[in-house]
Structure 1
């Protein structure tokens, strides 16, 4: 069956989905995106993702062409049309197409709304059992990382460098501290059993999975500290892991070729992954 995508009011086969070469997402990266996970054909923690979508478009004065309620309906129909059981729904909103090309916001352009699905077995991922390796890179991104912009070139370069080094993720470093992963939030568990993750600010994206995992950890009496940490502190930690919609919770077992603890996923990481998956299934819509 050919994949179906949603584009500006219509569900169409992927081969028929066309966006103008004058679309500002293509010319200026003038757009916002969001990604929600799907388990058993249902959307995971979707309200948090749509709330972040609304915030991000608001930060760049980009109007949503549909209500959030209608977007949920489109997501669900797209999942059904593609018979998606486990995977992801990607949403992208741009400021639309305008001729001629101009830096200023166009007065008459209609925003472009695209949604696509992809299959991924997040729960049974092999890397969840073995853990992943990360490579550190300089954080060269712009100053508003709290906005989920489609301008992802810095992350592309970071993740490419990680892949070429045999790693599955990049950790970006600024002023000697870890900001976040190329497409994930970063955590460590210190030797005195404190869960540490960077505090929300314009320096990082406010991760939806990060938020849920932090809350679930606190509900189970784990002490959580929101602050920056260094690579050296991560290497000295009991455990390290990342969170995202496309990974849930996955252990980091190597950083720049050096092992974290015994080089295997730790028990707290494993337990938090189980708890998050239980939460995801219980609250899926």
Structure 2
């Protein structure tokens, strides 16, 4: 750690050390940079508590296993590192990331993934929202982009990764046409996901969310859990573009933003308003989950790193 480090903008863990976020750097030869050969996960901290931290860690581990990336740190060490990053940054509300990068080849010039030195980068920065709060308050304008989502067979969307070229193209479309964000469809015309969020549509009073072409988000799972508890019909499966365009209500969900109401899909303004009645029920229950001890981990939890300092 640097002498008298300033963590006011955030804290990072890299190369086995905790450093201010501005000092966290990787090599330009790291395959995580040159090939997007990395997996990651993001968990949020609200009011000094992590939400569903173990679920995020479990998904991170699954992603690493699918991409054959191995870290020296086990789950408890990962948890301690994330907690310590938030503690050092002194954040009550935080966006917390864990990244497992392929790293640089140990053998000069090697093109074998197995020759690379895998490594962990973690950091905690002040809370951010995928869609700004003022936009959420009025309800966001959602464009259904004509750019297709990369096929599941090419890039597994359930492995959280940095392949965002198609999603970024959707953002170009949304920005060019005056929308707040975009969602993409697959080659069959089925809705998938947007840049950093899942999609839910209210159809016939119940909820539908895509199953293919998308990350199985932790917030998405929270919505599914809420529906099970409250008796709201919810189906994960195909969501045709036309059904999203005519849905009674639409909302997006993500770790970095929670439940985000949509007021307009394409040129159609949603009659129920934003948020509509079903969306409001889900939002209220999602907020309540953050007070449930079954889902939270306190930031003031002791870690072995704090004890060592």
With normalisation by structure 2, the TM-score equals 0.84
**Corresponding position of 2:144:** 136
Q: Which runs of 5 or more structure 1 residues have no equivalent in the other structure?
A: none
1:227 aligns with 2:237: yes
SS in 2 for 1:36: strand
In structure 2, distance between residues paired with 1:208 and 1:256? 27
Q: Which runs of 4+ in 1 moved over 3 A?
A: 99-103
2:201 to 188, 195, 220: 188
**Corresponding position of 1:34:** 41
1:63 to 64, 67, 70: 70
**Corresponding position of 2:180:** 168
In structure 1, distance between residues paired with 2:253 and 2:172? 19
Is the Cα contact below 8 Å between 1:236 and 1:261 reproduced in 2?
no
For residues 41-77 of structure 1, give each alpha carbon's deviation from its aligned partner in whole angstroms, at most 9, with x where no partner exists: 2211111111111111111111123111111111111
Is the Cα contact below 8 Å between 1:39 and 1:281 reproduced in 2?
no
**Corresponding position of 1:115:** 122
1:154, distance to aligned residue in structure 2 (A): 2.0
Q: Which runs of 5 or more structure 2 residues have no equivalent in the other structure?
A: 1-7, 298-309
SS in 2 for 1:177: coil
Is the Cα contact below 8 Å between 1:93 and 1:113 reproduced in 2?
yes
Q: Label 1:78 to 1:268 Cα distance change in 2 as closer, same or farther (>3 A).
A: same
In structure 1, distance between residues paired with 2:49 and 2:180? 27
Is the Cα contact below 8 Å between 2:11 and 2:125 reproduced in 1?
no
With normalisation by structure 1, the TM-score equals 0.91
For residues 23-51 of structure 1, give each alpha carbon's deviation from its aligned partner in whole angstroms, at most 9, with x where no partner exists: 11011111101110110122111111111
**Corresponding position of 1:242:** 252
Is the Cα contact below 8 Å between 2:10 and 2:126 reproduced in 1?
no
